[in-house]
Structure 1
Amino acid sequence: MREDLLSDDLFGNEAGEDEAKERLSVYYLEKPENNIFFSTKKKLQFVRSRKGVGKSALLNYAAYKLESECPYDIQINIKASELIALSDPKDLTALELTNCWQQRICTRINVELGKKIDIAYDDDSLTLVETSELTGFKGRNLLSALADRLSLKIKSNEIKINKLSSANNIELLKRYSASEEIKVWLFIDDIDATFTNTEENKIIVSTFFTACRYLVNDVKNLNIRASVRTDVWTILEDYDEALDKCEQYMLDLKWSTSDTGKILAKKILTYFKEEHPLDVPRLYSIDKDEIKIFNLVFSGAIKWGDKCVPPHRAIHILSAGRPRWAAQLCKIAARDAYSKYKDAIASGNINFAMDEYGKYRIADLYKEHSHQCTNLKYLIEIFRNGKKYYRTFDLLNFIENSLNKAKITIYLDGNAIGADKNQLAHFLYRIGFITLRNDEYNKALGFTRFEDNPNLLLPVNLNNNDLWEIHPSYRNVLNLKE
């Protein structure tokens, strides 16, 4: 039905953490290389990617899987801001901050355990939060240690019991203390949500990862999963050598062109099976019937230059391999198709969507990378009304001449010395503003991204035959020409 094009569920929720776990579990694309994140044998795992690639969705999906496999374990899903709010980290050394993070994490578990045994905290009992200590936890069962602490507080009347007899609470505490099998799974998202490239921010965020590593080694039955942006991690690992020991627990999350196709197809098929179960063949397979599934929403192939390509290939390029961006683009194009009385999305609808879509992308670019680059807007704006393509040396000269003319100096990654044209070009490549043209169909994206080859555009390997393009998602909003 044409009205399906207006449904927010057709391409899934753009925020992975907001999607219902049950629905996410139906369309989430599992990849063998990501399965380590779900393993009950791994106490500590981090996931790293750019914004919009799906870190929150992965955490959400992992929580769902582990809840199904380990229904009696305790799960705590939080934003990092909930931990930061529990104490003041100012003027602390790295060791003190590491200890502070550990205290915050254990405090949060204390609160959750209190909920499980139906304890209500009054103002006085917040001393439990403020004085949470790690001493005595090492080598012990986590729930037993925390239950002992709560038991002591109950005996000293610092915690009030809600509508349960003391016998019931004692039994609850006994069960928790005696159980060696129950585990705590802590899922922490957005540790770098408000990260800026300052000394204070770097030490606060970097010590979080070290604290997690210490805790899972010292505390039995505690398991942690957390996320971080790729660009933030790059800054942190150069700043804090202790993070070298965390690298082994890091999963790099990324999606190929084929993956994007499967993700879109699974979302579309999930929606139609929910909304039109009698109209969609139950035997549709993501692997065998992908074209048929796309034809439920798209009117055939998408025109790309002088070629026609499958819808997911064009969407993958325009979304830079980020599922959130892909969902946004598809929703804008779907609304345009509906407004023009079309039953499916065509090339013209995607082209029309690029103006609105480009505004989202340029805003995201500034939000995601301004902490790495002072005057990032000025650096991007020199390209406005300019060309889409540059050979290597034309690109370098254009950057240098434009900034000299405007008398602007750009600083990267907290350096006190202004960046030169080579450093700025490589930075634009690093953040995905420019990509290397690649016309071979089987190569990733039709473009080479920084993730594919981070060593391009360095002074030692400059090649003037390379053709650098402003990424297609930015072209309309910057009014770029052929």
Structure 2
Amino acid sequence: MEILAKMDIDEVFGNEAGEEESRDFLKEVYIENDIYARAIGNTRIVCVRSRKGVGKSALLARAFTHCEHKGYSALWLSPTDLAVQLDTDYNISVDRLKKRLARLSVGCLAKKIGFSAAENADEAIAWAEKDGFRSKDFISKVAKTFQDVVKAKNDPGISEDSVTRLLARFAEQKVLTIFIDDLDRGWRPTGPDSIRLKAMISAIREIARECDGVSFRLSLREDVWQYLEIHDEQIDKFRQYAHFLKWDDAALRKIIGKRIWHYCKQNINGYSVSSSDDLSNIYELFDRTYTWSEEIKQMHEVLTNLSRRRPRDIIQLVKGAAVRAKSEGHTKIQETDVRNEFVYSYSRVRTLDLIKEFKNECEQMESLITVFGGKRYIRVMPYQEVIGLIKSVNGRISIEIFGKRATDVDCHNFLYRCGFISAREKISLTKYRHKLYEDAPSLIESMVGVEKYDWEIHAAFRPYLESLQVSPYQEKTRKSKRGR
């Protein structure tokens, strides 16, 4: 069936920012995983850590909807609401954050219950700020305080029966789940930001430990997590709650296939694919194969590779290719549509995104990446050539990582860790095995056998790098090669 011409592309693939997607759409297309299972379970703290575009915000949004659907008390707080005056005494800062969290939580509960006059919640909020999360039976006391307010005040905006039932259920369940997405919003590796984030994590740990039924669902960028692991000795106590979100190839296929299936079942008469997880959904929209590095690959394999296994990226790539295909009058998304979107738009966006994602960690990120660019850039390099390119820029501008002067090996490890470059080992005349940072995080730091690998720039960045001017080091290297 020719479905591309009948599709509204934006409606098929939804919002690229999953947390901004409608709850109904997210419920239909979300792919559940083990971290999601933890987030809707009874664990006191679940912190989702990931790179940009992997879906930590969407996971929290889906878990929040689940809690509300089940009738549990769930609050969504913004990290910008948690600003407090920091004190030179770290413990005082933690205490202020606990009070702020208690005040915000009770204020949000008051709104959910339906107080029409702000002063009706003042008594409960004042108690929360004074004693709040110091109390082990916080939930019971909040429910009791609100029940007293309802009895004492005649507020025409409140249906007393419904509020009484809600509060009774709240007191009986003794469950309050607090969601804070992007706990590190606006964070930079500076003194105040670093102290504030550490104090917030300490406050959350103490509240979850001391107050029955209060739990937290959080998200944190992976680069921030790595900074905390280096600079915060207390993070060891929090590590058990932090879970790294990633997707395998099968899950990414489902992310695309399920969106196609959901749209077609609702909007296209006679659509015959019965399963939302069936690869047939993808092949209804795409040609099956793609010529990749002189090999014939399945289209979905190429898409997952180019997306770096990030749902946001694969959706952007597919949407762009679909728009190109429709404009060309194609009945399916063809190899040329994917290739043109990749070369002329997607690669540039991905490279600039990578620079923005890691600029907090390394101010000189752009210079460190673009030194690999050029009209005849080298896609695969031996170890010494990688180090030579890095040396050419590091000797000129003094690269720093997390505020400390970086060696050439530090810079190589950084590029490996952020996914710009991977190790490549030849296993036969025509086959290679790649090693990503997730596979072997200590490969470069250990310096054991590191020179036996070639190093390959990730496919997502190559067209953009090829479009750049040749670096002086590359020109010098090429001239020396021609002279041999």
TM range (shorter): 0.7 to 0.9
Greater alpha carbon shift after TM alignment, 390-399 vs 377-386:
377-386
- Cα shift readout 1:169-225 (whole Å, capped 9, x = no counterpart): 897399449832152221110111211111211111122222111112222221210
Corresponding residue of 1:391: 382
SS in 2 for 1:9: helix
Corresponding residue of 2:473: none
Greater alpha carbon shift after TM alignment, 139-148 vs 318-327:
139-148
Alignment equivalent of 1:163, drawn from 144, 157, 160 = 157
Q: Distance in 2 between matches of 1:27 and 1:53?
A: 15
Paired residue type of 2:77: I
Once the two structures are TM-superposed, the CA of residue 358 in structure 1 deviates from its matched residue by 1.8
Compared CA separation, residues 365 and 89, structure 1 to 2 (3 A): farther
- Cα shift readout 1:277-312 (whole Å, capped 9, x = no counterpart): x322252352xx31x211111011122111122222
Corresponding residue of 2:198: 206
Aligned residues: 461
Matched, 1:224 2:216: yes
TM-score (norm 1): 0.86
Corresponding residue of 1:359: 348
Give the CA RMSD over aligned residues.
Answer: 3.0
Compared CA separation, residues 344 and 203, structure 1 to 2 (3 A): same
Alignment equivalent of 1:185, drawn from 173, 177, 182 = 177
Corresponding residue of 1:411: 400
Paired residue type of 2:139: L
Corresponding residue of 1:77: 76
Q: Unaligned regions of 5+ residues in structure 1, if any?
A: none
Task: Indicate conservation of the 8 Å contact 1:5/1:338, yes or no.
Answer: no
The structure in which a higher percent of residues are helix is 2
Q: Distance in 1 between matches of 2:350 and 2:123?
A: 46
Once the two structures are TM-superposed, the CA of residue 94 in structure 1 deviates from its matched residue by 2.5
Q: Distance in 1 between matches of 2:172 and 2:427?
A: 56
Matched, 1:23 2:25: yes
Once the two structures are TM-superposed, the CA of residue 459 in structure 1 deviates from its matched residue by 5.3
Once the two structures are TM-superposed, the CA of residue 474 in structure 1 deviates from its matched residue by 1.3
Q: Distance in 1 between matches of 2:200 and 2:387?
A: 38
Once the two structures are TM-superposed, the CA of residue 13 in structure 1 deviates from its matched residue by 2.2
- Cα shift readout 1:120-174 (whole Å, capped 9, x = no counterpart): 45589779757843636545443332245557878999xx945348xx3897399
Greater alpha carbon shift after TM alignment, 321-330 vs 361-370:
361-370
Compared CA separation, residues 147 and 303, structure 1 to 2 (3 A): same
Q: Distance in 2 between matches of 1:312 and 1:206?
A: 41
Matched, 1:432 2:423: no
Task: Indicate conservation of the 8 Å contact 2:115/2:157, yes or no.
Answer: no
- Cα shift readout 1:353-379 (whole Å, capped 9, x = no counterpart): 122112221221122111111222221
Paired residue type of 2:28: V
Task: Indicate conservation of the 8 Å contact 1:298/1:344, yes or no.
Answer: yes
Structure 2 matches for 1:36-47, cutoff 5 A? 36-39=38-41, 41-47=42-48
Compared CA separation, residues 264 and 174, structure 1 to 2 (3 A): closer
Q: Distance in 1 between matches of 2:352 and 2:119?
A: 42
Once the two structures are TM-superposed, the CA of residue 424 in structure 1 deviates from its matched residue by 0.5
Paired residue type of 1:19: E
SS in 1 for 2:291: strand
Paired residue type of 2:281: I
Paired residue type of 2:140: S
Q: Distance in 1 between matches of 2:392 and 2:113?
A: 67
Compared CA separation, residues 365 and 136, structure 1 to 2 (3 A): closer
Corresponding residue of 2:370: 381
Greater alpha carbon shift after TM alignment, 258-267 vs 45-54:
258-267
Task: Indicate conservation of the 8 Å contact 2:113/2:163, yes or no.
Answer: no
Paired residue type of 1:302: Y
Paired residue type of 1:230: E
Q: Distance in 1 between matches of 2:465 and 2:170?
A: 64
Q: Distance in 1 between matches of 2:291 and 2:149?
A: 68
Corresponding residue of 2:320: 332
Paired residue type of 1:475: R
Task: Indicate conservation of the 8 Å contact 1:141/1:180, yes or no.
Answer: no
Once the two structures are TM-superposed, the CA of residue 64 in structure 1 deviates from its matched residue by 2.6
Q: Distance in 2 between matches of 1:17 and 1:455?
A: 34
Compared CA separation, residues 121 and 365, structure 1 to 2 (3 A): farther
Q: Unaligned regions of 5+ residues in structure 2, if any?
A: 471-477, 479-484
- Cα shift readout 1:6-27 (whole Å, capped 9, x = no counterpart): 5213233211111222222222
Structure 2 matches for 1:28-177, cutoff 5 A? 28-32=30-34, 34-39=36-41, 41-68=42-69, 70-71=70-71, 73-84=72-83, 88-122=84-118, 132-133=128-129, 135=131, 137-138=133-134, 140-149=136-145, 161-164=155-158, 168=160, 172=164, 175-176=167-168
TM-score (norm 2): 0.86
Q: Distance in 2 between matches of 1:53 and 1:80?
A: 20
SS in 1 for 2:456: strand
SS in 1 for 2:76: strand
